Amino acid sequence: MAAATQPDPMVPQLYRVGRVRRELADTMTLEVAPLAGARPSFEPGQFNMLYAFGVGEVAISISGAVDGSSFVHTVRDVGAVSGAVARLKTGATVGVRGPFGSGWPLASAQGADVIFVAGGLGLAPLRPAIRHVLANRARYGRVIILFGSRSPKDLLFRREMEQWRQRLDVDVEVTVDHADAEWHGNVGVVPALIRRVAFDPHEALALICGPEVMMRFTVNSLAEAGVAADRIYLSMERNMKCAIGLCGRCQFGPAFVCKDGPVMRFDRIADIFAMREI
């Protein structure tokens, strides 16, 4: 019997846009399902390459899934391609390559305290991991979600965040850089929240995603709290073109974020991460 032919990783597969939901003024969440065949499986933390026909291709983290049928992508309009994807309507066709890259270490986190730290749109790549941990709550120790945003109007996944906050088995802290008159929560940067929560630094795993400056300060705060570098994982973002390590666009020192990341253990990249020009 002949072996099944694997799709060419450089050829986009056709997907149809299903439900589209506005998250923020410039951010949309799209559900996309393949026109033919089944949706590939994925690990939380991986990404797809989304192709807007006639415009170009962009790497977008997978922010969820619907049953076994659709990928969920949360896209911010920050450029020509991401803007074209964010403006797609229900019924439109989009090209999809992937999933690619490494995922969050959810299996090795079992039995440990898990600390999720997200800044802004960085909550999207962490969302499938948070959902997995909460769906398998008994397998993990304390679960802590720390989320920071520029302002109250920039808070992502508000409804789901409120559901997480209502659970008695999860600690959730949210902060904003700039408050308005209706905001009664924390004000300040998200790394400062680490001092507000209790966890065992020797048993905790920290999963971080957000702007690099936020991740630098978060790593420093976790280190001050006693969390070892090999128990800290970051989701790195770099310009990607091929997604399979050929073009070199996403090179990060000796590594390539598309295939060695985007999720990377901090002790393996600590020296490079400290170099701001990389």
**pLDDT digits over 24-47, tens only?**
999 999 999 999 989 999 999 999
Are the beta carbons of 252 and 226 closer than 8 angstroms?
no
Average pLDDT score over residue span 73-83? 96
Final residue in a domain of this structure, among 68, 100, 132:
100
Under 8 Å CB-to-CB from 156, ≥6 apart: which residues? 23, 24, 27, 74, 120, 121, 123, 124, 147, 149
Cα 122 to Cα 175: distance, rounded to the nearest angstrom: 14
How do residues 203-247 score in pLDDT, each as one tens digit?
A: 999 999 999 999 999 999 999 999 999 999 999 988 888 999 999
Q: Stretch 161-168: mean pLDDT, rounded?
A: 95
- Domain assignment present for 197: yes
Q: Give the bridge partners for 93, in sequence order.
A: 16
Indicate if 119 and 39 belong to the same structural domain.
Answer: no
- Cα–Cα dist 87/67, whole Å: 24
> Same structural domain for residues 90 and 120?
no
Indicate whether 125 and 248 sit together in one domain.
Answer: yes
Considering the domain boundaries, does residue 3 fall inside one?
A: no
- For the cut 90, the answer to whether the pLDDT of residue 59 exceeds it is yes
Residue 115's nearest CA partner among 52, 44, 201 is: 201
Residues 52 and 139 both lie in one domain: no
Which of 42, 68, 100 marks a domain boundary? 100
The per-residue pLDDT for 111 is 96
Please tell me whether residues 248 and 180 are part of one structural domain. Answer: yes
pLDDT band at 51 (very low <50, low <70, confident <90, very high): very high
Give the pLDDT score at 6. 65
Q: Give the pLDDT band of residue 274 (cuts 50, 70, 90).
A: confident
Is the model's pLDDT at 18 over the cut of 70?
yes
- Residue 30 belongs to a domain: yes
Q: Which domain holds residue 64?
A: 13-100
Question: In this structure, is residue 171 part of a structural domain?
Answer: yes
**What is the tally of structural domains in the chain?**
2
Tokens 């790549």 label which residue? 125
Angle at which helices 212-224 and 266-273 cross, to 10°:
120
Give the mean pLDDT of the chain: 94
Which conformational region is residue 37 in: left (phi greater than 0), alpha (psi within -120 to 50 degrees), or beta?
left
Q: Kindly report the CATH number assigned to the domain that includes residue 84.
A: 2.40.30.10
The reply to whether 141 and 40 lie within a common domain is: no
**Model pTM score:** 0.94
183 and 256 assigned to the same domain? yes
**Is residue 108 domain-resident?**
no
Confidence of residue 158 (pLDDT cuts 50, 70, 90): very high
CATH number at residue 159: 3.40.50.80
Both 221 and 123 in one domain: the answer is yes
258, 245 contact by CB (below 8 A): yes
Residue 277, SS3 per DSSP: coil
Same domain, 155 and 262: yes
Q: What is the pLDDT of residue 121?
A: 96
Burial grade of 190 (CB within 10 A; 0-12, 13-18, 19 or more): buried
